[in-house]
Chain A
Amino acid sequence: KQEVTQIPAALSVPEGENLVLNCSFTDSAIYNLQWFRQDPGKGLTSLLLIQSSQREQTSGRLNASLDKSSGRSTLYIAASQPGDSATYLCAVASNAGNNRKLIWGLGTSLAVNP
């Protein structure tokens, strides 16, 4: 059964720092991995999707990497800003059949202080 773990659970950094959020999963048979942002009480904003055949994806100040064999992904945020404060969720899609249900981590709660 797929399990997704994210560390750290919470992170507080001063503005401008580069930071790394970690996601690990127990079953390497994934189809893709998505990183999401969630603001308090709000919905899920997709940030990056990495296919299982890819090693990394970049969007602006965000870079996500994937090491499928070791069951790990990292989300790198460059030059963090107060507006980056949110919870960051990692979710993996199953490779079984055509059903790509997402299995989620609990998230990393990020606070970027001015």
Chain B
Amino acid sequence: EPEVTQTPSHQVTQMGQEVILRCVPISNHLYFYWYRQILGQKVEFLVSFYNNEISEKSEIFDDQFSVERPDGSNFTLKIRSTKLEDSAMYFCASSKTTGSYEQYFGPGTRLTVT
């Protein structure tokens, strides 16, 4: 069964460094999402991406964040200058653009900023 994959599973970085989180969505899905979950808090929507552009972004998704689909399979989230408060679990999801729009989630990347 197709699944969403994410790499790395755990990333440790120093404050101020750039990180790139990678996702491979399900191949016939066209809508892509990033969410994050700070420890003990709700899962929060960051950004949705369709047809090679951002469809919607939340207030969290400021100029420090960017997304890209560099090729036909990868979908990346870049944080330019990480802050301590960026420490969280980051989840990628994908969905079709018809039918139920059910979102399928990757296993997540745990980002730790020190």
**Pairwise interchain contact A103-B45, C-beta atoms closer than 8 A:** yes
Interface core residue of B91, B93, B101, B107 (most chain A CB under 10 Å):
B101
Segment of B48-56, B62-70, B78-86 in the binding face = B48-56
- Report how far A106 CA is from B97 CA in the complex, Å: 27
> Which residue in chain B gives the minimum CB-CB distance to A6?
B42
Stretch in A11-19, A59-67, A78-86, A91-99 touching the partner: A91-99
Contact B43 A31 (CB under 8 A): no
Report the contact-size class of chain B (Cβ under 8 Å from the partner): 20 to 34
Minimum CB distance partner of B91 in chain A: A44
A100–B42 touching, CB < 8 Å: no
Q: How far is the CB of A26 from chain B (nearest CB, A)?
A: 14
Residue on A nearest B108 in the bound complex, by CB: A43
Answer whether A100 and B43 are a contact pair too, CB < 8 Å, given A31-B101, A34-B103, A46-B104: no
B106–A43 contact, CB under 8 A? Answer: yes
> Which label, helix, strand, loop or mixed, suits the secondary structure of the B interface?
strand
CA distance A102 to B91 in the complex (A): 12
Q: Is the interface of A mostly helix, strand, loop or mixed?
A: strand
Contact: B102 with A102, CB < 8 Å?
A: no
Whether A32 and B56, one on each chain, are in contact in the complex, defined by CB atoms closer than 8 angstroms, is no
Chain A residues near B101 (CB, 8 Å)? 31-32, 93, 100
Asked if B50 and A98 sit within 8 Å, CB to CB, the answer is: yes
With A98-B97, A99-B56, A101-B56 given, is the CB distance from A34 to B107 under 8 Å? no
Measured in the bound complex, the distance between the Cα atoms of B102 and A34 in whole Å is: 8
Can you give 23 A-B contacts (C-beta < 8 A)? A32-B100, A32-B101, A32-B102, A34-B102, A34-B103, A41-B110, A43-B91, A43-B105, A44-B108, A46-B103, A91-B43, A93-B103, A98-B31, A98-B50, A98-B97, A99-B50, A99-B56, A100-B103, A101-B56, A102-B35, A102-B43, A102-B103, A107-B42
